[in-house]
Structure 1
Amino acid sequence: MITEQLLSIAIRKDKRVMAHFGTLAAAMSAAVLATSCVSALAAETTGNAPARVEATADAKIKKITLTPKAAERLGILIDEVRADPSGRLIVPYASVLYDLSGKTWVYISAEPLSFVRGPVEIDTIKGDNVYLSDGPPVGTKVLAAGVPQVFGTEVKVGH
């Protein structure tokens, strides 16, 4: 009988500890969530955002400027428009972006860590190379990694 009473007391104590632990865990989760939201809001309002989005002459296209830390996180790589011996323009396949309407684009980088979407017309795709029938001139710097993330920033997906 004494054993049963001791066991009953131990179980009640255990339940109280677990209830306190659950309350503590919920409070900690709420604090972490609040801190994350405040940090994100502070980044937006104080200019510490990972990217700056600016208008261009075309209302549908924005200029994206990344912070060095954001570029590092996204694994940004820059390549150049090349030409084959016949003069056809070539860009890396990873540079090409297809929008929802099926139009094809590349992000042109005229300044370090700044990108503006430019239209391209694809002639042929061979392996990792895309041959263009129209696009930026040879030597133009284009974004070769991080294209979907930059597009998401431009059109505010996930913001």
Structure 2
Amino acid sequence: MARFSVLMVAASTACLAASCVSAAAAESDVKKSAPARVEATNDAKIKKITLTPKAAERLGILIDEVRADPSGRRIVPYAAVLYDLTGKTWVYISADPLTFVRGAVVIDTIKGDNAYLADGPPTGTKVLAAGVPEVFGTEVKVGH
């Protein structure tokens, strides 16, 4: 009976050790497959966000671009505009696929679904048009 108890303790210890290793491996896999990578930029208050394709799909990410009306005024979709807690306005610029950096804009006028810019990125710049609040939450670590 004593031999049986020793074998049971040894078997239990082996199982616990295996499950700890398995849990550590699973945690490591989660870190490797994080839905977004957040990196520093030259501005300590602004981070560069890179999403995985799966995260972009889940968030319904859409990219548009800064357009110009016939008079040359720059336009972005109003859905692309982000207001921070101080009321400053931003858009997420996408220089690389699934990578976004917040850039300041100054809104001149809002008409319907369009925001006319007094200042901001040049015409043709790709901007995030859907998923903006989620990317901002990732940048400022809401829920982390």
Asked if these proteins are the same fold (TM beyond 0.5), I'd say yes
Partner of 2:84: 99
Query: Structure 1 residues 43, 88: CA separation in 2 closer, same or farther (over 3 Å shift)?
Result: farther
Which one has the largest radius of gyration? 1
Partner of residue 86 from structure 1, selected from 54, 66, 71: 71
1:119-157 CA distance string (max 9 Å, x none): 000000000000000010000000000000000000000
RMSD: 1.8
Aligned-partner Cα distance in 2 for 1:47–1:38: 12
Per-residue deviation, 1:38: 7.9
Greater percentage in helix? 1
Count of matched residue pairs: 122
Q: CA deviation at 1:40?
A: 8.8
Matched, 1:148 2:133: yes
CA 1:101 to 1:39, structure 2 compared with 1: closer, same or farther past 3 Å?
A: farther
Structure 2 length-normalised TM: 0.80
- Structure 1 stretches of 4+ with a deviation exceeding 6 A read 37-40
Unaligned runs of 5+ in 1: 1-36
The two structures have a TM-score, normalised by structure 1, of: 0.73
Q: Which runs of 5+ in 2 are unaligned?
A: 1-22
Letter paired with 2:106: E
- 1:76: how far off? 0.1
Q: Percent identity over the alignment?
A: 82
1:75–1:39 CA distance, 2 compared to 1 (3 A): farther
Give, in whole Å, the separation in 1 of the partners of 2:26 and 2:108. Answer: 42
